[in-house]
Amino acid sequence: MAKLVGISGSLRQGSYNSALLRNAAGLMPEGSELVVDTIRGIPLYDGDVETAEGIPERVAALKEAIAAADGLLLVTPEYNNSIPGVFKNAIDWLSRPPADIKRVFGDKPVALIGASPGGFGTILSQNAWLPVLRTLGADLWSGGRLMVSRAQTVFNQDGTLADQKIEEQLKTYLEGFVAHVRAARP
């Protein structure tokens, strides 16, 4: 059983990216599972807090969930043509202390998708993640791409997918990523 963890980079209740993640969890190939986790509760990174109190409980819990998973799915919004601060902040906390990076992210299969109401579907945000993932030593899967544009037309009010074509693309994307995870971690 390939076990993946997924996190959305949006805290918004009606988030398209969180909806995309929930849909992904429901479209996983047989013999695989996607557990939806969250960046909610992760404080702003503060080196003084880290020195005085160590790693916050919520950060430590998410670190362990990622370390235990066979793969990680990041579902990223795009803010000002880059990574939203709350999402980057979460990853920054998750990369502490540096001695733990290899255990949590090293050679970890990571896939990257995103949704935006705009016409480019988070392409620049996805690009902005590349140096971050390289720095963490993650194994970015680049065998497929999924950029959901015009997101307001893609989801129903309840967050389910209204667009059959996107659903097919998401399914195909997940099949490719899970095949990669299985090959990387037989």
Ligand X SMILES: Cc1cc2nc3c(=O)[nH]c(=O)nc-3n(C[C@H](O)[C@H](O)[C@H](O)COP(=O)(O)O)c2cc1C
Residue 16 interacting with ligand X (CB under 6 A): yes
Residue nearer to ligand X on the CB measure, 22 or 108 = 22
Residue 77 interacting with ligand X (CB under 6 A): yes
- Distances in whole angstroms, Cα of residue 165 to Cα of each of 26, 54, 122, 185: 16, 46, 18, 30
Q: Tell me the site size for ligand X, rule CB under 6 A.
A: 14
3-state DSSP call for residue 14?
coil
To 10 degrees, the CA torsion angle through 26, 32, 35, 36?
-40
Which residues 101-120 are close enough to bind ligand X by CB under 6 A?
116-118, 120
Name the one residue in this structure whose structure tokens are 């680049």: 142
Residue 85 interacting with ligand X (CB under 6 A): no
**Shortest approach of ligand X to residue 130 CB, angstroms?**
17
Largest separation between any pair of C-alpha atoms in the chain? 50
**Shortest approach of ligand X to residue 101 CB, angstroms?**
27
Which residues 159-178 are close enough to bind ligand X by CB under 6 A?
none
Determine the angle formed by the axes of helices 16-26 and 164-184, rounding to 10 degrees.
60
- Please give the residue ranges that form the binding site for ligand X (CB under 6 A): 10, 12, 15-17, 77-81, 116-118, 120
